[in-house]
Amino acid sequence: MSSLPIPPHAASAASADPQAPQAASLAEGRQRLRRLASVLGLLVLVLLPLISGGGYWTFTLGVCFANAIAIISVSFLVRYGGEVSIGHGVFVAAGAYTVAIVEKYLGLSLLASLPLAALVGGLLGMVFAFPSRHLSGIYLAVATMALALALPELLLHFSAVSGGYEGLYVKLDALPGMAKNLQRYYLPLVGLVVVALLLRQFRRSRQAMALLLIRTSAHAAESFGVRRSWARLSCMALSAAIAAIGGALLAFSSSTVSPNSFTLWTSIFLLVGSVVSLHSMSVAGSLVGGVFLTLMPLLLAGAGDWIPILYGTALLAVVLGVNALPAKLRARLEGGHA
Amino acid sequence: MSPTIVREADAPAVIDRGAEAQSPSLVVDGLALAFGGNQVLQGISLQLRAGEITGLIGPNGAGKTSFFNCLTGLYAPQQGRLQLGAVRLEGIAPPARAALGFSRSFQHVALCPELSIVENVMIGLDRQSAAGWLDAFLPFAGGRRERTRNRELALAALARLGIAQMADEAPLSLPPGVLRLAEIARAIAGEPRVLLLDEPAAGLNSVETHDLSTALMRLRSPQLVMVVVEHDMDLIMEVCDAIHVLNVGRLLASGSPAEVRANPEVVRVYLGEEDD
């Protein structure tokens, strides 16, 4: 029985503002425009390999899409958990090695191993989150860094399974009948779009709202029945699962996994990508980070000893440039709400 | 210093069990809270009755918010008994107390800036929601239905406080008074059994405060224990059926608004003499 009876007319009071219809139609128009731009952008990405005829740039963009998913995983942790990770390369590696190991030992392709990779990543995230559930801020960041530092050594220690220095190959077709270079482009692209759509749906859920409130005010959230430990475990597990999906697709698009691909720098660059993409979880926003992460080293490849300096300068230019933008435009680039 | 008017000293012993099951009171007996050597609350015994609006007043630092935090489980008192109906509350964590029907607003507004106003209010309905993880990621009908229902209930709670037209605004774009009302809407959206409002009128102008007092009186219900901490004495005297006065962590006085207003000790410590 309701202790607080609700007047039947109460909900209709929302439309009391005479300016409301105008504002609503303006917002609707903007949304339609954004949708149109998204569809057009996606259409360009779908047609790109058919127009360009595949080749190096198709391969690079496939890697870029997979990196964008990994960047989304870090952004998810930042936006929903309010925490920073400099060890997400570990979860990416978990996904990548799951795909490679399943192929090597079970002979199954990416389509079969991708869900398993997500599950392994999620479980690993929970295993890490449980003992560290009372850590936050810089302490949690350092704990994630410890994971990233330990990973290459662990992979080398279990070289019988992981393939040691040489790593493992991912060769099986996921979509038989389609050219390999196109598979390596389209599957990460589909993965990125699906992850972005799932996260868009998630943003409207009660779980997302609870995570966002507990990030802002843990006491307030607890007073409404949200448990801190639940929030930390869920957030880290979901973030790690997304990272593992990114890793799985990265393994497929680059066709190889090795300890060199998952050093501490991998994790740091993922965080850099997340910052550059303004922690966006949309396709377009995460691609900004993915492009920066994948293409910037390639563009600077001829600069020799100047690479770190030029990379740092480019990073500073992006971060300072974004911060110099008007607050309204910045909020729009960030995608408004999480 | 001991309370000058304490009607509830023996309250736990005289609870009518039949009425109790219908509209359980919140009984506080011998509550004591200390941080290190600092005694924040000491020997607080009172009964907060369903169907009444109870005011909790006192100077800054009297322990009012700490008392609320003890009720909601954010603080664990060293001594004392807390009981809602037949349920003992000691050892029950804040989320579990929320499940029992505790709900509150905060002295410092605690809304999430990334959520719209109506989404913030929808969090007040979280404990009554059943949508699982699959509903969170996939657009299943059950999850969508629940979300629509929660939004309607949240809009109704906002409408009751007169701010439904701001439902889709971001908190950062709204004045503090509206945010405070939104927080109260979040507290009432989930049909609470115990509603604790911490300085609900802070930041409101006189018109908003008047609207708030009307809204609070409308919220009064035989099933609801409502406690209001407030410094606005006009509001407290207007809406409350009973008032408890705290001073330096002790219960100074309890009684009806008229009794408390006439209490010389309360006047000396908190209310002050009226200007001629």
Q: Quick check: A223 and B160 CB within 8 A?
A: no
* DSSP result, A210-238: HHHHHHH-HHHHHHTT--HHHHHHHHHHH
Q: What is the pLDDT of residues B175-187, one digit of tens each?
A: 888 898 999 999 9
Q: What is the pLDDT of residues A120-139, one digit of tens each?
A: 999 999 999 998 888 888 89
Residue of A nearest to B115 (CA): A337
Q: What is the pLDDT of residue A68?
A: 96
Mean pLDDT of chain A: 86
Q: Quick check: A14 and B221 CB within 8 A?
A: no
Q: Which two tokens stand for residue A209?
A: 């709202």
Chain A within 8 Å of B24 (Cβ-Cβ)? no
Q: Which amino acid is at B158?
A: L
Q: Where are the domains of chain B?
A: 1-101+192-276, 117-191
Domain count, chain A: 1
Q: Which two tokens stand for residue A279?
A: 């922690």
Which burial class, exposed, middle or buried, applies to B46 when counting CB atoms under 10 A from its CB (0-12, 13-18, 19+)?
Answer: buried
DSSP A7: P
Q: Quick check: B115 and A17 CB within 8 A?
A: no
A205: in domain? yes
Q: What is the pLDDT of residue A299?
A: 79
Q: Which two tokens stand for residue B169?
A: 């605004």
What string of H, E and C letters represents the secondary structure of A303-333?
Answer: HHHHHHHHHHHHHHHHHHHHHHCCHHHHHHH
Residue of A nearest to B124 (CA): A224
Please state at what angle helix A283-299 crosses helix A264-276, rounded to 10 degrees. 130
| Torsion angle in degrees (nearest 10) through CA of A273, A276, A280, A286 | -50
Q: What is the pLDDT of residue A17?
A: 53
Distance from C-alpha of B154 to C-alpha of A186, rounded to nearest angstrom? 42
Greatest alpha-carbon span in chain A: 73
- Using a pLDDT cut of 90, give the percent of chain B over it: 61
List the 49-78 stretch of B: residues with Cβ below 8 A of A: 72-74
Mean pLDDT of chain B: 86
The yes-or-no verdict on residue B20 having pLDDT over 80 is no
A31: in domain? no
A18: in domain? no
Average pLDDT over residues A145-150: 90
* DSSP result, A257-279: E-GGGSSHHHHHHHHHHHHHTTT
Q: Quick check: B123 and A224 CB within 8 A?
A: yes
The yes-or-no verdict on residue B2 having pLDDT over 50 is no
Distance from C-alpha of A249 to C-alpha of A117, rounded to nearest angstrom? 10
Average pLDDT over residues A114-119: 97
Q: What is the pTM of this model?
A: 0.84
Q: Quick check: A3 and B188 CB within 8 A?
A: no
Average pLDDT over residues B206-212: 87
Task: Mention every residue, 6+ apart, whose C-beta is less than 8 A from residue A235.
Answer: A76, A77, A80, A81, A83, A129, A211
Q: What is the pLDDT of residues A183-224, one digit of tens each?
A: 999 999 999 999 999 999 999 999 999 999 999 898 899 889
Q: Quick check: B219 and A222 CB within 8 A?
A: no
Can you give the length of chain B in residues? 276
Beta bridge partners of A206: none
* DSSP result, chain B: ---S--S-TTGGGG--HHHHHHSPPEEEEEEEEEETTEEEEEEEEEEE-TTSEEEEE-STTSSHHHHHHHHHTSS--SEEEEEETTEE-TT--HHHHHHHTEEE--SS----TTS-HHHHHHGGGGGG----HHHHHS--HHHHHHHHHHHHHHHHHHHHTT-GGGTTS-GGGS-HHHHHHHHHHHHHHT--SEEEEESTTTT--HHHHHHHHHHHHHH--TT-EEEEE-S-HHHHHHH-SEEEEEETTEEEEEE-HHHHHH-HHHIIIII-PPP-
Q: Which amino acid is at A110?
A: L
Q: What is the pLDDT of residues B68-115, one digit of tens each?
A: 999 999 999 999 999 998 899 988 999 899 999 999 999 888 999 989
Distance from C-alpha of A253 to C-alpha of A246, rounded to nearest angstrom? 10
Average pLDDT over residues A81-99: 94
Q: What is the pLDDT of residues A246-304, one digit of tens each?
A: 999 999 999 999 998 898 989 999 998 998 888 889 898 899 889 888 888 787 777 77
A194: in domain? yes
Q: What is the pLDDT of residue B47?
A: 92
The yes-or-no verdict on residue B158 having pLDDT over 80 is yes
Neighbours of A108 (CB within 10 A): 14
Domain with A184, as residue range(s), is 51-333
Of A10, A205, A210, the CB nearest to B135: A205
A36: in domain? no
**Shortest Cα–Cα distance, B60 to chain A (Å):** 21
A82: in domain? yes
Of A14, A202, A206, the CB nearest to B129: A206
Q: Quick check: A10 and B223 CB within 8 A?
A: no
Beta bridge partners of B33: B41
Which residues on A lie below 8 Å from B145 (Cβ)? none
Q: Quick check: A227 and B122 CB within 8 A?
A: no
Average pLDDT over residues A4-23: 48
Which burial class, exposed, middle or buried, applies to A100 when counting CB atoms under 10 A from its CB (0-12, 13-18, 19+)?
Answer: buried
The yes-or-no verdict on residue A96 having pLDDT over 90 is yes
Q: What is the pLDDT of residue A334?
A: 58
Q: What is the pLDDT of residue A1?
A: 36
Q: What is the pLDDT of residue A315?
A: 78
SS3 A256: strand
The yes-or-no verdict on residue A338 having pLDDT over 70 is no
Beta bridge partners of B247: B250
Can you give the length of chain A in residues? 338
A119: in domain? yes
**Shortest Cα–Cα distance, A284 to chain B (Å):** 20
Q: What is the pLDDT of residues A237-252, one digit of tens each?
A: 999 999 999 999 999 9
Distance from C-alpha of A4 to C-alpha of B184, rounded to nearest angstrom? 13
Distance from C-alpha of A107 to C-alpha of A253, rounded to nearest angstrom? 18
Instruction: Report strand pairing: B38-48 vs B26-35.
Output: antiparallel
Distance from C-alpha of A31 to C-alpha of A28, rounded to nearest angstrom? 5
Average pLDDT over residues A80-97: 94
Which residues on B lie below 8 Å from A2 (Cβ)? 191
Alpha helix (H) residue ranges in chain A:
20-52, 56-76, 89-106, 110-129, 137-157, 159-162, 180-203, 206-216, 218-223, 228-254, 264-276, 283-299, 307-324, 327-333
Domain spanning B1-101+192-276: CATH 3.40.50.620: no
The yes-or-no verdict on residue A98 having pLDDT over 80 is yes
CATH code of the domain containing A316: 1.10.3470
Q: What is the pLDDT of residues B147-156, one digit of tens each?
A: 999 999 999 9
Average pLDDT over residues B157-177: 90
| Inter-residue contact B231 to B225 (CB < 8 Å) | no
Please state at what angle helix A206-216 crosses helix A180-203, rounded to 10 degrees. 70
Which residue is listed with tokens 């109790």? B20
Angle at A222 between CA A216 and CA A223, to 5 degrees: 110
Q: What is the pLDDT of residues B56-77, one digit of tens each?
A: 999 888 999 999 999 999 999 9
Q: Which amino acid is at A36?
A: L
ipTM of predicted assembly, 2 dp: 0.82
| Torsion angle in degrees (nearest 10) through CA of B179, B182, B183, B188 | 170
φ and ψ of B127, to 5 deg: -70, -15
A76: in domain? yes
